[in-house]
Amino acid sequence: MLARTSLSFVSGFTQNVARRSVAPAASSIVTRWMSEGDSPVAEKTEEEKAAIKAAREARKAEKERKKAEKKAKKAAQAAAEAAANKVEDVTYLTFEEQDSYSKMGDMTRVMSRSRTGREFAKVEDLEDAEKYPAGSKVWLRGRLHSIRVKGGSCFLVLRQGSFNTVQALFFKDKEDPEGSKKMLNYLKTLTVESVVDLEGTIVGDADVKSCSVQSVELNIKRIHSVSKARAQLPFLVEDAARSEEEVEASQDTDRPFPRLGQELRLDNRWMDLRAPANNAIMKIQSAICQLFRESLYSQGFMEIHTPKLIAGESESGAGVFTTDYFGTTACLAQSPQLYKQMAISADMDRVFEIGPVFRAENSNTRRHLCEFTGLDLEMAINDHYMETLEVVHNCFKHIFEGLETRYAKELAVIREQYHSEPVTFTDEPCVLHWPEAQEILKEKGFDMGDGMGDLNGAMELALGEAVKEKYGTDFFMLDKYPAEIRPFYTMPCPEDDRFSNSYDMFIRGLEICSGAQRCHDPDLVQEILEKKGIEAGEGLQSYISSFKDGISPHAGAGIGLERVVFLYLGLDNVRKASMFPRDPNRCTP
């Protein structure tokens, strides 16, 4: 039985070898082996073994050939499909040629090759039916705020700036299924926050509640990626735009919103500033500078620019940053104070400056920065430093009124995320004197000691609450500070030299401005320096010399821009009011 089975196997094997075109020599060897009547279990010769091996390899080779053939065919089909769906990069050269360009694709790097002549619309203008009637085509450049591709349709929101959004749509075209498929596949590759160029047709009578443009939407005709955002963003702009109340309310739901920490936001500040409220804060900061300039220009001031690298401390204290200056030591200016006064000596009777201020103070609080923007002014006075206080008060009135009337849109966006009420203020300066403030704080339970020490944060807040309750204002001045706690250039009070002709200004109970009449007598300056134990080094010699050649009596003020923004908007941290804040723990980005 075994012999018959073996012979049957060998016979089949021989026929199989013959069908697969095994080498004739190998076939004859197998045939001879069978014809000689040898037992199939007998030891095979080397030739027989080689024949069997050759047959096995032939089968394997044939299998590999068919596999490769199938793979090649599949690859060819994929290549053909890819070629059909390939999206070429787009290079715009002229407006006239735009219809010949692909309807979708990544734009080649914008390198100022030509002026294309394309006119880009503003999203905020799209609801102007006279300018953009239904059916008209428009080009828009903006960020891809959101996108959803499903089946044969796509809905996306395009954002310009941080406030203005419009919805755009694409639906599969039955007359061009291949082109539609190509467009939908390309739309799937686009990432949120990418910058895109989009050509669309205006569709009226829309009702889009989720966009700033609600009565109009666009049918997408062309879309090109100008700059793709990475797929994994540090956080979503929509998460950065949520109020703390909204985030807190979501924590007990099955889909809580992420709470973005301050450090994460500041590490990726460019993303954080895309959130509408944060972007609007920077616009308010800019507006305050503009309104500050407007007010002072209208009152006869001129803008100056003073050095920020100086030979010594501008206010004589430990809180300065030092740097090497060609083998000597220089400091970053704590304020433009000395140079403002020297400008008065140069007969520039009314000057102001907007510039950086540096304080090397290791203060890790919600209201301190190591670098901020100073709004400084100095002016010659006739008789009394109250002339300056009135100028500053009028300047703040102009700022407050201008913000509420000219920047109402930005304020509404900010207050939606960071809730606060508008700042209240009086028509005439609301001025408290030091003794009155001391009595108010004593009544509130503070130990004021001998009444000659500076106010701490808690005292300032309590004083602000009392003033608001008594006078109905968030903005007030505190006059006649003790001379001991004011800088050396402050004029003493003529009635009591323990006090000084100096004042601070407050918004919502926190200081935003310090001002005073300055000492213009060089002998008095020298006397105060000696009394305070300050050595008149190289940095102060030229300053004192400017008084020796005659100088008008003068007074001034220094205002912290970020403090004003922070307190006017009722924010919880001054870092929100700084574009890229610097504090003791942060020097990047």
Just list the catalytic residues.
359, 361, 367-368, 511, 514, 563
What sign has the CA pseudo-torsion 227, 231, 234, 238? positive
Q: Provide the 10 A C-beta neighbour count for residue 125.
A: 12
Whole-number Å distance between alpha carbons of 104 and 108: 12
Q: Counting Cβ atoms within 10 Å, is residue 516 exposed (0-12), middle (13-18) or buried (19+)?
A: buried
Whole-number Å distance between alpha carbons of 441 and 135: 68
Residue listed under structure tokens 């301190």: 368
Residue listed under structure tokens 């994460």: 264
CA-to-CA dists, residue 247 to 115, 238, 251, 256, angstroms = 46, 12, 7, 7
Q: Which helix (H) or strand (E) holds 414?
A: helix 408-417
CA-to-CA dists, residue 17 to 27, 28, 119, 317, angstroms = 7, 11, 76, 101
Whole-number Å distance between alpha carbons of 406 and 309: 37
Q: Which helix (H) or strand (E) holds 95?
A: none
Whole-number Å distance between alpha carbons of 277 and 273: 8
> Token pair of 577, please?
């009011």
